[in-house]
Structure 1
Amino acid sequence: MTMETGPIRDFTIDTPQSELDDLNDRLARTRFPEKETVEDWAQGIPLAYVEELVAYWRDDYDWRRCEAALNAHPNHLVEIDGVDIHFLHVRSPEADARPLILTHGWPGSVVEFLDCIGPLTDPVAHGGTAEDAFHLVIPSLPGYGFSGKPAETGWSVEKIAESWHALMTALGYDAWYAQGGDWGAMVTSAIGAQDKGGCKGIHVNMIVAAPPKAVMENPTEEEQQALARLALYRAKGAGYSKQQSTRPQTLGYALADSPSGQMAWIVEKFHDWSDCDEGEGAHPENVFSRDRLLDNVMLYWLNNAGASSGRLYWHSFGSPNLDPVEIPTGCSLFPHEIMRASRRWAETRFKNIVYFESVERGGHFAAMERPEAFVGEVRAAFRAMD
């Protein structure tokens, strides 16, 4: 399938003040539900914390700071198969840097990678060597962030993978690499499976593969823990995915109308999926700043992306792409990831694993939660592909 690609246009994020005023007005008029009847997060994000975040968002949060941080990098738009794709394109000062496309997931955004851009593009200035340099392409998924919203069905993981190939080709890269977590891992894996010739290797920090019979019948202790975590997720943590994969439009009305609702829908996952301590002490702000949490939420709120982001689940969650990947692959396992496949588990799909490492701390949003560890893993994985 050939993707129709338009010209690359420069883009500057410039939010009208009227939108920020409307947000503050809505936050001031938030109607909260009653307090949960438990003393933890078992029923969802607690009322007291939502009230704190809403008050901070309304009175102290500064979107212009985040807007400036994003605009400090070159932003662009390109139309691919009728949909505008927003992306950051940050070239390294090292001429021989490898082109690398980084893909976020839900409920993330390009904000996840902000603290990694400097170390990945200019490693010499951040404790690395020139050989570790990358030219970065960081797109917003279709229906997410500042990308356009598909008006027709068909924008599956596979189509996005083909679009990223078209994007890298349009940028003049004939040999490049890909990295991703969450949906980004699925898109990146699909790029590897499609193997159109441009992508020379991939790295994922979430391994999407079916557990083999040997794992199910005789799991190691590590695999037992991974299977137990996956079972807990399916039993108590996957309600969002059922809603978004079946009725994203209905959910979208609430998320489009209520900033506090959109924020709670997202921030709950930054608690559940991050390595932010256990039990009563677990809190997303143990590992994320309040500002950065809200920066990420703003990319959903300002772009009214509640329904459009959920539609990716409608397209691809029920039947995930598990096609085999033959190109060089690196895998990094962060301990609080939803899916922590062992190497023999991963090898059922990824046939050419050249790097496989467990990281001491971190979770699902690795680039945002543990940027230094994430950068180290990316460098090590692609170094193994020399």
Structure 2
Amino acid sequence: MSIEPFRIAIPDADLDDLHRRLADARWPAQLPGTGWARGVPLEHLRGLAEHWRSGFDWRAQEARLNAFPQFTTEIDGQRIHFLHVRSTRTDATPLLITHGYPSSVAEFLGLIGPLAEDFHLVIPSLPGYAFSTPLSGTGWTMARTARAWAELMRRLGYPRYGVHGGDVGAGISASLAGIDGEHVTGLHVVTDPWTAAATATFIPGMAERLDPNDPVDKLIGDRMDAFRTDGSGYLSIMNSRPQTIGYGLVDSPLLQLAWIAEKFEEWTDLPIDRDQLLTTVSLYWFTGSGAGAAHTLYEQAHSSEWGTPPAVPQGFSVFGADETVRRLIPAPAEANWVEHERGRHFPAMEAPAELAADLRAFFGPRA
């Protein structure tokens, strides 16, 4: 039940080990003319790896993270790490923010300043990610994580709170709103057309419900096909063999870097600073959480517990919006719906000002 203060302090020996591994890395050849078609291009990854080794200042990023109060607690046998930034206003709205994959609490650093005046911010690391490691065992599904979040908010003394998330964080937030609807004031999630189409590939019978003569349905179908044939390889191996890929992710900084850098390239529309990317990769590397994250994705793929549909006010921010999303997202008619032309999978990093404005408008400065 105790909540302990926490500060990030990666040992110098771990930094030296990372730099040595990067300097001694073995590089595969790149087939001529393949570009990004077969994975991260050689020269792109070489540039990132060299900056990670000789130009990236981890200590500056560590200090940036440590500028915000952090804590750990144990819930359901699992160590949980979280940022907890209290507003100076006693009537501020508590807001629980959950990241997805491949991400971390660092995704939300650009939101804290714009929101901290009117919100008490609770930003946990998912079980098995970053400093919520090691993963305590099997069974950490989205629903179980949602129950842990409900307990976390109870321990922090918040009887009423809002929830927000994207990717896996959106699923956890929706599950939490269903599980703890008595205490959740509202559910806000972010999505984009490509994520919505990729998610649709897991809905039984979805492909058969699409009309190939309808241009919107055809676009959805094309994106679903593209995800199945060209975009789901990373998920297939994590959903089936998380232990096997885990060996490489915790032993090779190049693999961990390529694994995440590929998704940042494919899933973003607006540029993300490479130091922001390397901060996320570093959190995975120093904590060995590439394997833990893979195991949680496996759990989600094999779970049949999806919780109770939320019965709280709902808000959606759609980035890179087009006509497909309204057809794919089962949003209630009364839901707050905001569309943005630019941005995609990581709007807290790509468009933090726009996302902060959406959250403030949905939850209200004194909700």
Q: How big is the shift at 1:152?
A: 1.8
Distance 1:36 1:162, change over 3 A: farther
Counterpart in 2 of 1:191?
176
Match of 2:357? Answer: 376
Matched, 1:101 2:96: yes
Q: State the SS of the aligned residue for 2:255.
A: helix
* 2:9 is equivalent to residue 9 of structure 1: no
Distance 1:72 1:385 in 2: 26
Residue of 226, 231, 236 corresponding to 1:232: 226
Q: Could you tell me which residue of structure 1 aligns to residue 296 of structure 2?
A: 312
Give the equivalent residue in structure 2 for 1:138.
Answer: 123
Rounded Cα–Cα distance in structure 2 between residues aligned with 1:294 and 1:100: 27
Q: Does residue 254 of structure 1 match 2:254?
A: no
**1:342: Cα distance to partner?**
3.2
Paired with 1:168 and 1:251, the residues of 2 have a C-alpha distance of 34
* Alignment equivalent of 2:55, drawn from 38, 44, 60: 60
Q: 1:266 to 1:113 in 2, by over 3 A?
A: same
Residues of 2 paired with 1:56 and 1:357: CA distance? 37
Q: Pick from 179, 188, 198: which aligns with 2:164?
A: 179
The aligned counterpart of 2:278 is 294
Q: State the Cα distance separating 1:354 from its structure 2 match.
A: 2.5
How far 1:377 sits from its partner (Å)? 1.9
Tell me the distance in 2 between the aligned counterparts of 1:25 and 1:324. 49
Correspondences of 1:61-140 after superposition (within 5 Å): 61-122=56-117, 133-140=118-125
In 2, Cα distance between equivalents of 1:109 and 1:379: 22
Cα offset, 1:100, TM superposition:
0.4
1:270 to 261, 264, 276: 264
Deviation at 1:182, TM superposition (A): 0.8
C-alpha displacement at 1:344, in angstroms? 5.1
Whole-angstrom CA distance in 1 between matches of 2:230 and 2:343: 21
Whether contact under 8 Å (1:36, 1:47) holds in the other structure is no
Code of the aligned partner of 2:338? E
Are 1:362 and 2:343 matched, yes or no?
yes
Query: Could you report, residue by residue, the CA deviation over 1:169-191 in whole angstroms, capped at 9, with x for unpaired residues?
Result: 10000000100011101101111
Do the aligned residues in 1 keep the contact of 2:93 with 2:366 (CA within 8 Å)?
no
Query: How far off its partner does 1:81 sit?
Result: 0.9
Instruction: Decide whether the 8 Å contact of 1:201 with 1:385 is kept in 2.
Output: no
Separation (CA, whole Å) in 2 of partners of 1:228 and 1:256: 35
Of 203, 210, 224, 1:216 maps to: 210
**1:346 is matched with which residue?**
329
Q: Which range moves more in the overlay, 62-71 or 214-223?
A: 214-223
Q: Which amino acid in structure 2 is aligned with residue 48 of structure 1? A: E
SS in 2 for 1:10: strand
- Contact in 2 for aligned 1:326/1:352 (Cα 8 Å): no
| Contact 2:73–2:79 (CA under 8 A) maintained in structure 1 | yes
Higher mean displacement: 219-228 or 243-252: 219-228
Paired residue secondary structure (1:166): helix
SS at match of 2:335: strand
Comparing 56-65 and 36-45, the one that deviates more: 36-45
- Cα distance in structure 1, aligned partners of 2:316 and 2:350: 18
Cα pair 2:70 2:81 within 8 Å, conserved: yes
Gaps of 5+ in 1: 1-5, 123-132, 277-286
- Letter paired with 2:71: H
- Partner of residue 148, structure 1: 133
Query: 1:273 touches 1:336 (CA, 8 Å); kept in 2?
Result: no
> Are the equivalent residues in 2 in contact too, given 1:155–1:315 (CA < 8 A)?
yes
Aligned to 2:148: 163
Q: Is the Cα–Cα contact under 8 Å of residues 115 and 356 in structure 2 kept in the other structure? A: yes
State how far apart, in whole Å, the 2-side matches of 1:72 and 1:142 are. Answer: 23
Q: 1:186 to 1:353 in 2, by over 3 A?
A: farther
State which drifts further: 169-178 or 50-59: 50-59
CA separation in 2, counterparts of 1:232 and 1:384? 41
SS in structure 1 opposite 2:363? helix
SS in 2 for 1:204: strand
1:353/1:342 CA distance change after superposition, 3 Å: farther
The amino acid across from 2:151 in the alignment is A
Q: How large is the RMSD of aligned CA atoms in angstroms? A: 2.5
Alpha-carbon separation, structure 1, partners of 2:289 and 2:31: 27
Equivalent AA in structure 1 for residue 329 of structure 2 = A
Q: Is the 8 A contact 1:76 1:87 kept in 2?
A: yes
Q: Number of residue pairs matched? A: 357
**Residues 324 and 352 of structure 1, relative CA distance in 2, 3 Å threshold:** farther
Compared CA separation, residues 256 and 359, structure 1 to 2 (3 A): same
State how far apart, in whole Å, the 2-side matches of 1:96 and 1:219 are: 53
Q: Which amino acid aligns with 1:258?
A: S
What is the Cα deviation at residue 39 of structure 1? 4.0
With over 3 angstroms needed to count, the CA separation of the structure-2 counterparts of 1:377 and 1:67, relative to structure 1, is same
Report deviation, 1:80. Answer: 0.4
- Per chain length, whose mean CA-contact separation is higher, i.e. which structure has more relative contact order (CA < 8 Å, sep 6+)? 2
Alignment-mate amino acid for residue 66 of structure 1: Q
The alignment-based identity, stated in percent, is 41
